[in-house]
Structure 1
């Protein structure tokens, strides 16, 4: 097997052209560390990437390709599929625009089509702007975390956190947690991690109440964990939420299943914000993204930190190849 066959093709949608997405992608590719694990190809505007290369001062050239079969696989060349959704004369910067929203929506759909069809092994989404999408009246086919269907997974070094629920009021969280929901999430997480190359994932479930001592912990979470264990899944819990994340950081577990949005996010952002990335678990293909926004306040300055984008691109490559989580860079 040669090096090109050993590394999967990973497509990255450049994000809203007015934001820092093109800049952090250019800087991430310039490190050479993306090519160590994958053959990268971008989806978006060649002109936006050329501007980003100029802004950041990296040493590479942008090359438009029409086919996945015609990638250069050269760290000094940025291969991009540009379907013409955004003209070179229409390059917004640091503001929401209709054209930016229209282009972002189309690029996301193009990336999804490539991934769903098997042309690329994984898709990475650059930072998009909900403001631009609203102006353009576009609703791209992005999977939103939905209990029982899809989950947001945040990764930061040894701390990996899946969220049973996402943007749901706490009162509602208490109402919907059930043994069925917990067991289903554990099955989906276990299956995904095995596909990613973790032979026997060690999953721990965070309790909902202080010290995991409440009605929901006893009547909903614990029975769900018991069901998963009976099916051969290495799951434990509920574990007191004030200590479970530290236990994952220390290597006792591979991933934590948090019960609600802030329970997991606070732990992740406290442990290590720079360099983390996110996975949307649920689509038919591996969908990875950064955990930051378009950062219009610094767009065009060339100072945006590429650590999250580098992490997202390397994580997508390693998991798509079934090699588990990559070493940190």
Structure 2
């Protein structure tokens, strides 16, 4: 029997104990899953970066660390973590993100705030363009970004995506690298940020790059707070160059009550709810990687330490 250490906050164990054990059994894996083992007896670690486990040196027989979070920026640089690290690519999280992004893109595309928030007796018809005439750019074409790009494409939007490496998605204009960045931003009537946080992506959306976007563009950020230079975005909102920003993630969370974003009528703050790891589907992802490790198949969703994700 193999030993699987669940290393996360106690309240997460309450949520995960049954789904994780059920998923391992369904995958044909006989495992002892607990929150405490002698480190030298652990075969796999199911991990949240905010757990008490920060030194992986004692886990001498551990075959892989299986992250419960999509983001790995707070753990990828840990020099004691020398075994494979797998990020969470959860179908439930992907579906939730797709629904949230499509909802807010449609909200901005249709100008729904005008009617929802503006019931003041002003009868001024405003007919939006068709989706085919609205250009949406997705920054980040990983699992989440690709799913959102495809969903928006299927609704008829003119969709482009930008990524560090070249990608190919049917019906989506795929741009990459430094050469493609300006083109991606220059055609973004609505910009969706779904990049990971790395040294290369921090403050990616700075004052210069915001200026490349069309006047009146809208930004939707469910990715990572540090992707945006906050002062630069506030400046672009003040000038009217950016019409609206819907932000779900921030450098400091919860967003401090005195942060300027709260006072801006053209900023929508949502409290990091765009998507969440779902216990059932994420448990199945973990179980599949444990199964793979036991039969000698390659792990899925292995983190590229050099790239940071």
- Normalised TM-score (structure 2): 0.31
**Which structure's relative contact order is higher, taking Cα pairs within 8 Å and 6+ residues apart?**
1
Choose between structure 1 and 2: higher helix proportion: 1
Query: Which entry has the higher C-alpha Rg, 1 or 2?
Result: 2
TM-score (norm 1): 0.30
